[in-house]
A and B are shown apart, each in its own frame.
Chain A
Amino acid sequence: MALDSKSELREFKIVGTRPLRPDGIDKVTGKARFGADITAPGMLVGLVLRSPHAHARIVSIDTSRAEAVPGVHAVVTRADFAEPGEDVADILDNCMAGAKALYDGHAVAAIAASSGKIARDALKLIDVVYEVLPHVTDVDAAMKPGAPVLHEGRTDETVPEGLSPNVISRHEFGHGDIEAGLAQADRIVERTFQTEATHQGYIEPHACLAQMGPDGQADLWCCTQGHYMARNVCAEILGLEQGQLRVTASEIGGGFGGKTTVFLEPVALMLARKSGRPVKMVMTRSEVLRATGPTASSSIDVKIGMTKDGRITAGFAELRYQGGAYPGSPVDMGSMSAFAPYDLEHVKTIGWDVVTNRPKQAAYRAPGAPMAAFAVESAIDELARGFGLDPLEVRLKNAAREGTRASYGPTYPAIGLEATLRTAKDHPHWSAPLGENQGRGVACGFWFNFGGDTCVTLNITPDGTVTVSEGNPDIGGSRASMSMMAAEELGIPYEKVRTIVADTGSLGQNEVTDGSRVTFAVGLATIEAARAAIREMCKRAAMVWGIEPEAVEWVDGAAQPAGPNAGEHPPMTLAEIAAIASNTGGPIAGHHEANPEGAGVSFATHMVDTEVDPDTGAVKILRYTVFQDAGKAIHPAYVEGQFQGGAVQGIGWALNEEYIYGEDGVLQNAGFLDYRVPVASDLPMIDTVILEIPNPGHPYGVRGVGETSIVPPLAAVANAVSAASGVRMTSLPISPPKLLAALHER
């Protein structure tokens, strides 16, 4: 469905305003029910036994002592699960280890008992015999021949011979001739960058409640970014029919990509099947950090050439991402996005997907892009500063725009990068004075955004109010946005529409809440569902008036004759048509099911001021401004919220957050005390500037906004630290000891 008007954006009445969110009161009063807040009569508590080893063959598991404990109703190991299909094999193996435990924290057994205390005590009575194997957690070490091998036979046809079987795939993108491009450069910067794994860090640990009857009907409540995904995956793993497994999404306490797969859910269903009782499982924070998806860690070589007037002549990057114990790190996304903001004649990226003895990575907000942007944007900054050039001017000079052939292949339609850069340059932040030990950094970022399967049903109630049912968990205010778009189309007040997230029994298939897709794709389906309802309401009015439906139009929430030839009839409002629906053919609804693809790519420029303490190496964020293209901001407050939240997660990635493994391959900092996410006192206000370059693929021009905002901050912060201290930090996080050591070396 294309933009409603190519020439000018329509006048909106509701879209672009800031109404109160429909779930607000429940969330400020403690009434909202999140994953761990659901209970069922007769419920058991399920707990997981996890591997204390980074890599070990599971020789045997004896559950008999645990099963004998009064109050224990079921014990589950991998032996309880049938051989999985290929597409869920890794997911199941990650939920419950098979032949080997592949990382510290890998699930090896689970218990359902009548109380948490009994379950905890009984876990200790499960006897697991491990044969400990050598392990590897570093990406570069894992690639070398002779490194401890996780899996044999998983390497695909893209990988040349001679590397470790831990190397899964190789991805190459780009165009032109790098050597020819480098030959034109006045200076070449060649550096290696490293980023550590970070966790999405949602405050709500994974939680679910499962019940299953002997007839194969099952119910599951869980906090997830996609309950349809949870249904389909669990049904396949458990051998259930999808139609017999009803999944209800609880309120979700953050996801950021980390709740786009299942961890506990198949285990809870299996415990429920074996025990015949509802089973609730809730992870501890330590389990979340040890066994759910952090992002990939990376090691990236970059080589960029530039002329002295700031033209990039060639860009090359070789990216190595370890994605934990299973194939599928987002190195392909990193390789495609690394140079996406720039118009380059010669560009090439090579990406390597590598497995290590770490938890299976899960998507994290623009998966794969932030680390690639860190490397490329740092190198560009170094070149610009080396020539004494303005880093924003250099980016403007090389910026991709409409008609540019993207580094990943296609030619860009209208995009917003240049607008973010120009707006940044004109912003007072750019010219504000800086003090001693202070420095300013900028960086750009890109993300694709996408669509996917989507269903929306919009019902007109007899009293003329409207309910919208959609199938995507609301992680950042999307119910408000859907209600706004429905109200905008229908021409009724926002308060007359209530949007709910429906269970899997109520709608068809819905893609996960990911890829910044919800406002785009679900919004599009909501608009279409409203238009379908409008067509029906026009038909009902036409019946009453005795004219043709085509002679009726919908204006400001009412049907009216389209022109003088249609006769003299006073407008019939939505409420008036709803009141007589039973007399004109029955209830009125509109629905739309589609797989809208063609989401618009989005760009951002971030600007940050930092102060470096030369005595401690601590970095303080003094000022931060986000400039991002939203296409069209439906609810600007929640767009700002996405910009701010992404920026701060990026600041955490840049400065504090990291997975720290000991020599034994065991995670050393599996708690929020030592895995330090940014707190309120670490930060200033995060200023935002929303730009609106409409996406031609959406009726209102919406692009996704959720992911792009985490792409630039890693580099923006590193560039600001470099400006403040004169030290170029190539390894994240820029923690105080690391920076202090670099300052001393200077």
Chain B
Amino acid sequence: MSKIHVTTTINGDPTEFLCEADETLLDVLRDRLGLTGSKEGCGTGDCGACSVTVGGRLVCSCLMLGAEAEGQEIGTIEGMAEGESLHPLQKKFIEHAALQCGICTPGLLVAAKSLLEHNPDPTEEETRYWLAGNLCRCTGYDKIIRAVMDAGKDMREAS
């Protein structure tokens, strides 16, 4: 079976790749493009560890085919910091000890960034419901929620 040629943009970089018709975007990112920051925790869209944005919309990259990336703007954890400068969410996650093992962290950060873009001043409840699709088994979410809300506050004050 011949592969599909895909032209897309990933974290602002024009990118081309070949993939099988049944290959997920997550597999393409990890296995073909070396972008292993997105993690596979379940492969069924239940854990959120593979969260990316596609045209600004938050999606589980394990539920999307690589071929569907054609012409899209993909955002992954690797594109979150600008050079040496961490995104406020990244800084707050470290400051608040919002990660223990860190496997869910990329997905949570991508999802939290998407939250703050949609809702710059979320309540705790809104934050918890937005992040309900991202499983974390280490922290009990407490420090994650605090970090996200604190980052939101800093970002509001900075703008």
| Interface residues of A, Cβ cutoff 8 Å to B | 18, 20-21, 23-34, 36-37, 117, 200-205, 251-256, 282, 284-285, 475-477, 635, 637-638, 640-641, 644-645, 647-649, 671-673, 677-683, 685-686
A201 — which chain B residues lie within 8 A by C-beta? 137
With beta carbons under 8 angstroms apart, the residue of B95, B100, B133 that contacts A20 is: B95
Give the residue of A32, A117, A681 whose beta carbon is less than 8 angstroms from that of B132.
Answer: A681
- Of A33, A635, A683, the contact of B141 (CB 8 Å cutoff): A683
Determine if A679 and B80 form an interchain contact, defined as CB atoms under 8 angstroms apart: no
User: B42, A638: Cβ atoms under 8 Å?
Assistant: no
Interface of B is mostly: loop
Name the B residues within 8 Å of A673 (CB-CB).
44, 46
When A21-B94, A254-B103, A672-B135 are in contact, do A680 and B76 touch as well, CB less than 8 Å? no
**Option from A28, A285, A475 in Cβ contact (under 8 Å) with B94:** A28
> Which chain B residues border A284 with CB–CB below 8 Å?
43
Does A203 contact B77, Cβ atoms closer than 8 Å? no
Any A CB within 8 A of the CB of B153: no
A641 to B102, CA, bound (A): 13
For the A-B complex, the count of residue pairs with Cβ-Cβ distances under 8 Å equals 186
State how many angstroms separate the Cβ of B119 from the closest Cβ of chain A.
15
Nearest 10 CB-CB pairings of A with B? A30-B37, A253-B103, A27-B102, A648-B140, A672-B46, A644-B140, A637-B97, A24-B94, A30-B77, A28-B90
**CB-nearest residue of chain B relative to A21?**
B94
Using a CB–CB cutoff of 8 Å, the interface residues on chain B facing chain A are: 20, 30, 35-44, 46-47, 49, 76-78, 80-81, 86, 90, 93-97, 99-106, 109, 124-125, 127-129, 131-146
- CB-based nearest A residue for B79: A30
Complex Cα distance, B41 from A636, in Å, reads: 29
Bound-complex Cα distance A693 to B30 (A): 47
Instruction: Give, as a whole number of angstroms, the nearest-CB distance from B31 to chain A.
Output: 8
Q: How far is the CA of A285 from the CA of B78 in the complex (A)?
A: 24
Contact A27 B95 (CB under 8 A): no
Cβ-defined contact, B99 with A24, below 8 A = yes
User: A624–B37 Cα gap in the complex (Å)?
Assistant: 33
With a CB–CB cut-off of 8 A, which chain A residues contact B139?
641, 644-645, 648
Contacts of B105 in A (CB 8 A): 27-28
Q: Which residues of A contact B81 (CB under 8 A)?
A: 29
Complex contacts, A117 vs chain B, CB 8 Å: 20
Instruction: Using A203-B41, A680-B145 as known contacts, say yes or no to A30 and B78 having CB atoms under 8 A apart.
Output: yes
Specify which chain A residues have a CB less than 8 angstroms from the CB of B94 in the assembled complex.
20-21, 24-25, 28
Q: Is the CB of B101 within 8 A of A251?
A: yes
Q: Say whether B138 contacts A641, CB under 8 Å.
A: yes
In the complex, which of the residues B102, B142, B144, B145 contacts A23, with contact meaning CB atoms closer than 8 Å?
Answer: B102
Q: Which of B42, B103, B139 has the most CB of A within 10 A?
A: B103
| B20 (CB) vs chain A CBs: closest residue | A117
Task: Using A30-B106, A256-B137, A638-B100 as known contacts, say yes or no to A671 and B46 having CB atoms under 8 A apart.
Answer: yes
Known: A203-B137, A205-B40, A685-B142. A34 touches B93 (CB 8 A): no
Q: List 23 A-B contacts (CB under 8 A).
A: A21-B94, A24-B94, A27-B102, A28-B109, A29-B78, A30-B78, A203-B103, A252-B101, A253-B101, A255-B101, A285-B42, A285-B47, A476-B138, A644-B139, A644-B140, A645-B140, A649-B140, A672-B44, A672-B47, A679-B134, A683-B142, A685-B142, A686-B140
